Chains A and B, each alone.
Chain A
Amino acid sequence: MGPLQRGGVTKMNTRVFSYINAWITKLQSRWQTIVIAIPFYWLLLFFLAPFAIVLKISLAESIIAIPPFTPLINFAEGGVLTIRILFDNFIFLMEDDFYVKTYLNSIKISGISTLLCLLLGYPMAYGIVRASPATKNILLMMVILPFWTSFLLRVYAWMGLLADRGTINNLLIWLGMIDEPIRMLYSEFAVYIGIVYSYVPFMILPLYANMEKLDTALHEAAADLGANPITTFLTVTLPLTIPGIIAGSLLVFIPAAGEFVIPDLLGGGNVLMIGRVLYNEFNSNHDWPVASAVAIVLLLVLVLPMMVYQYYQSRKTED
């Protein structure tokens, strides 16, 4: 400001400058609050608040209108009646065999897929950690690369492989191992393949991060004290990689349980998974309250694993 004043700036102008200056100083002293506030309120509005609305609508009654649910204001009238209406959608879900079965099936499929991802991902992560630095970087890049390419298209790629007249069946027939095509697409098998294929990088990366941090001297110390490689693995490596196993498993299990694209494209109508049911309930049947109720129940099912994940995530950043 010094040179400006010398240039003959009016008193008024100086005052404006000092206001602005004061304002900037204030802003600077508050910058921490601002840094937190922007993302915080964004998430509050667009991430957390919507759940409240879902909850509200799941408690409403379905009507044929746009939007197709009863407005909230009606709740205030007649306490007893309201309560009956309130849980109608949830009671409907619990009583209908179809939904219960679908939830259980979703959990089964994503649970088994998680296990398969672990079986494939653990040795791969271990192999990457053990590789020489140059190879390690290439392998890591190869694991990360699928992240960047379209998920939908990668699932689509399996349609071509698994179809009745797809690559695998053609190959097997050509080899003379089978006469008739095997049914693979639109089956649970295809869904397992699709989930493992799409989610195995999510298993490998946390495991890799975990294993990379382990001091190799620990393995050597175990060997030095008489543990053969298998015992070393069981007593040292495995217990110390449990955080990675948990983080990776949850990163696979939770989104897989609500997966829509994979069961829809690879499972067709033959595999019941809750994500697909919810999507159809919403987009085809236009039963929004039931769809909301389905979402709330799915959220309740997944809330525990999510909290476990959250716990590990926060512990990791504190280290």
Chain B
Amino acid sequence: MQRKRSTFLFSVMCFGMAFLYIPILLLIVYSFNYSKLVPVWGGFSVRWYGVLFESEAVWAALMLSLKIAVMNATFATMFGTLAGLALVRFGRFRGRLLFSGMISAPLVMPEVITGLSLLLLFITLNQLIGWPSERGITTITIAHITFSMAYVAVIIQARLAGTDQSLEDAASDLGAKPFRVMTDITLPILAPGMVAGWLLAFTLSLDDLVIASFVSGPGANTLPMLIYSRVRLGLRPDINALATIMILTIGICVVIAGWLMLRKQRQRDQDMQLAAIETLDREF
């Protein structure tokens, strides 16, 4: 019985992973296809990478997207960390319900709604105070910060909830004022979460099509917008090449980061085990 159930789990797992990864693998394989028709194999070639690198539009879109992503990640990490701190460590305060609602709603809010509402806000603001005078990099960044900070806040909340409040209590017991407790204890605890949050906000921004298309103005084309305008008419081998580069870059970064984190955790587990064995030995 036990064994039968685990074969079931095993096959579902294999199917699920195949489902998740085969499309990506095929995407990569076809980027090395000579043929212009994506699904028809015409021999190995890196021709489409050449086409890609020669395109000025792609470079411009990439640079714009990277700029937005970096700014977004930085601000979203700051705001999201503050929000996460407030929600986990400050107990009850006035407006907490509204606050936590505004933090978790962007996670599930359909992008079309967020995009539309932000655009209408920018237009109204422009009518009222003349800002923002034109839509583009600033408006996209603001829009991205708004939904990315929610993700950062969730990461920070999880990290804070997982650590013992007693560390902070101990610090204040030893005479640290609340502000010092935050800088000495809380922020170092949060550092890994903030790094993860920054990276997530960065990729979320690099990934966003819908909201950016709403709040962008003429001339400001982000990379996803460029990709979208090309693929909506069908398969394009140069997009396969672009996809391969993006997926491999991010994939390798994530795998390395994950591996480093794993190694660190394993090291810590080992140290703890050693320490436990030593104490036991001393007792007996």
A137, A152, A163, A228: the one within 8 Å of B227 (CB): A152
Given A257-B110, A292-B120, residue A200 in contact with residue B231 (CB < 8 A): no
Q: Establish whether residues A152 and B27, one from each chain, have CB atoms under 8 Å apart when the complex forms.
A: no
Q: Which residue of B lies closest to A313 (CB)?
A: B104
Q: Is A48 an interface residue (CB 8 A)?
A: yes
The A interface is mostly helix, strand or loop, or mixed, namely: helix
B residues less than 8 Å from A257 (CB atoms)? 110
A residues less than 8 Å from B109 (CB atoms)? 254-255, 258, 306
Q: Establish whether residues A141 and B258, one from each chain, have CB atoms under 8 Å apart when the complex forms.
A: yes
B residues less than 8 Å from A81 (CB atoms)? none
Q: How far is the CA of A126 from the CA of B6 in the complex (A)?
A: 10
Give A143 Cβ to nearest chain B Cβ, in Å. 8
Q: Establish whether residues B9 and A153, one from each chain, have CB atoms under 8 Å apart when the complex forms.
A: no
The B interface is mostly helix, strand or loop, or mixed, namely: helix
B30, B123, B182, B234: the one within 8 Å of A31 (CB): B182
Q: Establish whether residues A44 and B105, one from each chain, have CB atoms under 8 Å apart when the complex forms.
A: no
Q: Establish whether residues B104 and A309, one from each chain, have CB atoms under 8 Å apart when the complex forms.
A: yes
Given A149-B247, A151-B207, A306-B105, residue A157 in contact with residue B24 (CB < 8 A): yes
A residues less than 8 Å from B182 (CB atoms)? 31
Given A53-B117, A229-B1, A265-B232, residue A154 in contact with residue B105 (CB < 8 A): no
Q: Is A244 an interface residue (CB 8 A)?
A: no
Q: Is B170 an interface residue (CB 8 A)?
A: no
Q: How far is the CA of A54 from the CA of B118 in the complex (A)?
A: 9
Q: Establish whether residues A161 and B26, one from each chain, have CB atoms under 8 Å apart when the complex forms.
A: yes
Give A38 Cβ to nearest chain B Cβ, in Å. 6
The size class of the interface chain B forms with chain A is: 35 or more
Interface-located stretch among B43-51, B78-86, B270-278 = B78-86
Residue interface mask B175-211, A partner, CB < 8 A = 1: 0011100100000000000000001100100110110
Q: How far is the CA of A144 from the CA of B30 in the complex (A)?
A: 24
Q: How far is the CA of A1 from the CA of B118 in the complex (A)?
A: 49
Q: Which of B121-162 contact A (CB under 8 A)?
A: 121, 123-124, 127, 142-143, 145-146, 149, 153, 157, 161
Q: How far is the CA of A128 from the CA of B13 in the complex (A)?
A: 8
Q: Establish whether residues A150 and B107, one from each chain, have CB atoms under 8 Å apart when the complex forms.
A: no
Q: Establish whether residues B1 and A228, one from each chain, have CB atoms under 8 Å apart when the complex forms.
A: yes
Interface-located stretch among A7-15, A97-105, A165-173 = A165-173
Give A196 Cβ to nearest chain B Cβ, in Å. 8
B residues less than 8 Å from A208 (CB atoms)? none
8 smallest beta-carbon distances between A and B, as pairs: A258-B110, A50-B117, A157-B23, A39-B83, A50-B121, A127-B9, A123-B12, A28-B179
Ordered by A's residue number, 9 sampled pairs between the chains whose C-beta atoms are within 8 Å are A43-B102, A53-B117, A53-B121, A142-B20, A150-B243, A161-B23, A251-B108, A257-B110, A295-B116
